[in-house]
Amino acid sequence: MCSLPVPREPLHRVAVTGGTHGNEMSGVYLVRHWLQAPGELQRPSFSAMPVLANPAATAACRRYMDRDLNRTFISTFLTVRASPEDPYEVTRAQELNQLLGPKASGRAFDFILDLHNTTANVGTCLITDTAHNVFALHLCHHLQLQNPELPCRVLMYQRPGEESYALHSVAKNGLGLELGPQPQGVLRADFFSQMRALVAAALDFLELFNQGMALPAFEMEAYRTVGTVDFPRTKDGDLAGTVHPQLQDRDFQPLPPAAPIFQLFSGEDVLYEGEATVFPVFINEAAYYEKGIAFIQTEKLTFSVPALPSLTPAPTPVP
Amino acid sequence: MCSLPVPREPLHRVAVTGGTHGNEMSGVYLVRHWLQAPGELQRPSFSAMPVLANPAATAACRRYMDRDLNRTFISTFLTVRASPEDPYEVTRAQELNQLLGPKASGRAFDFILDLHNTTANVGTCLITDTAHNVFALHLCHHLQLQNPELPCRVLMYQRPGEESYALHSVAKNGLGLELGPQPQGVLRADFFSQMRALVAAALDFLELFNQGMALPAFEMEAYRTVGTVDFPRTKDGDLAGTVHPQLQDRDFQPLPPAAPIFQLFSGEDVLYEGEATVFPVFINEAAYYEKGIAFIQTEKLTFSVPALPSLTPAPTPVP
């Protein structure tokens, strides 16, 4: 497996970002809380910085103001000369790139953990761009081992050849944490607590790595995006039906050929026409209607993740 | 029980309204479907008119543009002289009042059935303004009898002394139909089908009434609003916690004094300080954060609903 550079030094510059989508409330309220009470994000070798990624959208309780911020961290937007006519999120992506990057530079943050919710029934979902992100996969493995009671699934979101566009891609390493189902604009205590515990466990992992913990090789199941399926639509582009009751809420479950995927308003079923079983995720996510996505098709694979060399223990402050 | 005038004539002018809140998708898509295929709303003695109540908010997939349309059908807004500076929903309320009213006039529609969703776990909830709405309570009773498998609860939403402000109050009689939990912006097939079946059953009831069906007296359990409870907040007005896991999703269940209602971000619980058991509804509804409502307190009462005289059978067209 071709892999991205892995850390050779302790990770000191770490950010935890929430409100990248302004109506995904677990991250919004965790970050707001940590901005007032940052102690929870401190570890002996680093203090993670809480960042409210999209303050305007958060204030308006909307996903975004002008365009989806979490699709904006690509060179087209990050390198263009700033103009007062820029969409709000282009300006904000440039600011975040200055704060946490610049992306792909030596000055970039060591790690970004970006917090999200979805209306889909994904449970706990850990999002990396690709299988090349070996360090992030070690973190995922750690979170899985720490939470044996949770189905804590790893999703490789990026499609082959696609430039990474998510906020966490600004740092040298990063991970998206996606919990659902939670409606937009609603803060559920269960997901709030669960996300808080997962962030704590992630920071603990970074601390263990900084202290020189060895990271042996392992095998891991993960889901990799292979395509997307749009809703059935009328000739005007409006919905002609919605996700079938037999598919709704069944994220990460196998979808075989000829299984029903949509129920038309006329009463008929639409069957899955693919030739192979896929594993749908983000089924009926509210924010994806406008993107033309009723669900994302993934394949379930087993990856061999190589060992990472232990760091020389970093000096820690004497308490 | 003091009661509102009940129909003495067949109900011929009936409207089914959806998209009163533009991100409550069951009603939005049912109405859009019926605008193309109105046959489903026809009965021998009437054809119900589908109305997309808030087209601008529906197009934007938002609850409203400028103010909550379903709080706008009061004389302050309906009788003010129109101005180009009016909020969009004031203009729209006046248009709907012309189309379906005028409210409290002889020219008003006979019945409006207004379709809603909530992020709260209310199941099937039938909303009347008050216990005075005897005809609507007969419809509720019919829907309960037709759907014995559903917990089909009746909520009297209006508080004593409050002017009725909902869209359905424009007609001589009306009912709100509220299904949840469904996230804003999501169309679930199960609620779509359920709402469609409930609307069909409601229209069947109006037809039976028009044909001269006797409506005997009955007793009914219903929930009546007694107050609202806001989220715990910081001195800046921001959330300091959210609905307690032991209260979340327990709409219409008894909440006794000293039960936990909120979990603060600091980790502490907030207990219910009321002196009597109440029955919370609209627990953690996304749209109510801005209204300062974490849940609505109701009392559970038994009402004696009087019989309604049978109409002289209306002439029906020969098929």
For the stretch B97-139, pLDDT in tens is: 999 999 999 999 999 999 999 999 999 999 998 888 999 999 9
What pLDDT is attached to residue B311? 87
Closest Cα in chain A to B248:
A188
Q: Which of A89, A178, A207, A285 is catalytic?
A: A178
Residue A87, Cβ density class (10 Å: 0-12 exposed, 13-18 middle, ≥19 buried):
middle
With CB atoms and an 8 Å threshold, state whether B287 touches A192. Answer: no
Q: Which domain holds residue B183?
A: 14-222
With CB atoms and an 8 Å threshold, state whether A238 touches B284. Answer: no
On whether residue A229 sits in a domain, the answer given is no
On whether residue A253 sits in a domain, the answer given is no
Residue A176 has pLDDT above 50, yes or no: yes
With CB atoms and an 8 Å threshold, state whether A284 touches B187. Answer: yes
Beta-carbon neighbour count of residue A167 at 10 Å? Answer: 27
User: How many pairs of residues across A and B have Cβ atoms under 8 Å apart?
Assistant: 90
d(CA B102, CA A1): 71
Query: Residue B262 — pLDDT band, cuts 50, 70, 90?
Result: very high
Number of structural domains (chain A) is 1
Q: Which of B89, B162, B178, B290 is catalytic?
A: B178
d(CA A73, CA A77): 7
Q: Which residues of B touch A261 (CB under 8 A)?
A: none
What pLDDT is attached to residue A315? 56
d(CA A138, CA A134): 6
Mean pLDDT computed over every residue of chain B: 95
On whether residue B247 sits in a domain, the answer given is no
On whether residue A267 sits in a domain, the answer given is no
On whether residue B178 sits in a domain, the answer given is yes
Q: Which residues of B touch A64 (CB under 8 A)?
A: none
Q: Which residues of B touch A61 (CB under 8 A)?
A: 289-290
Q: Which of A181, A186, A243 sits opposite B284 (nearest CB)?
A: A186
Assign residue A35 the CATH number of its domain. 3.40.630.10
What pLDDT is attached to residue A130? 85
- Residue scoring higher pLDDT (B312 or A286): A286
Q: Which amino acid is at A25?
A: M
A178 catalytic per annotation: yes
Query: Residue A229 — pLDDT band, cuts 50, 70, 90?
Result: very high
Interface ipTM: 0.94
Q: Which residues of A touch B182 (CB under 8 A)?
A: 183
Query: Residue B86 — pLDDT band, cuts 50, 70, 90?
Result: very high
On whether residue A275 sits in a domain, the answer given is no
With CB atoms and an 8 Å threshold, state whether B119 touches A183. Answer: yes
Query: Residue B315 — pLDDT band, cuts 50, 70, 90?
Result: low
On whether residue B102 sits in a domain, the answer given is yes
- pLDDT over 90 percentage in chain B: 89
Q: Which of B29, B181, B243 sits opposite A239 (nearest CB)?
A: B29
**A179: Cβ–Cβ under 8 A, 6 or more apart, which residues?**
A26, A116, A117, A118, A122, A123, A124, A125, A191, A194, A195
With CB atoms and an 8 Å threshold, state whether B239 touches A187. Answer: yes
Query: Residue A161 — pLDDT band, cuts 50, 70, 90?
Result: confident
Query: Which alpha helices (DSSP H) does B115-264 contain, by range?
Result: 134-146, 189-210
Each residue of A277-298: pLDDT tens digit? 999 999 999 999 999 999 999 9
Residue A2 has pLDDT above 50, yes or no: no
What pLDDT is attached to residue A156? 96
Sign for the CA dihedral angle at A247, A252, A254, A255 comes to: positive
8 A C-beta contact, residue A155 and residue A298: yes
Q: Which of B40, B250, B265, B266 to mutate to test the interface with A (most CBs of A within 10 A)?
A: B265
On whether residue A61 sits in a domain, the answer given is yes
Q: Which of A182, A186, A190 to mutate to test the interface with B (most CBs of B within 10 A)?
A: A186
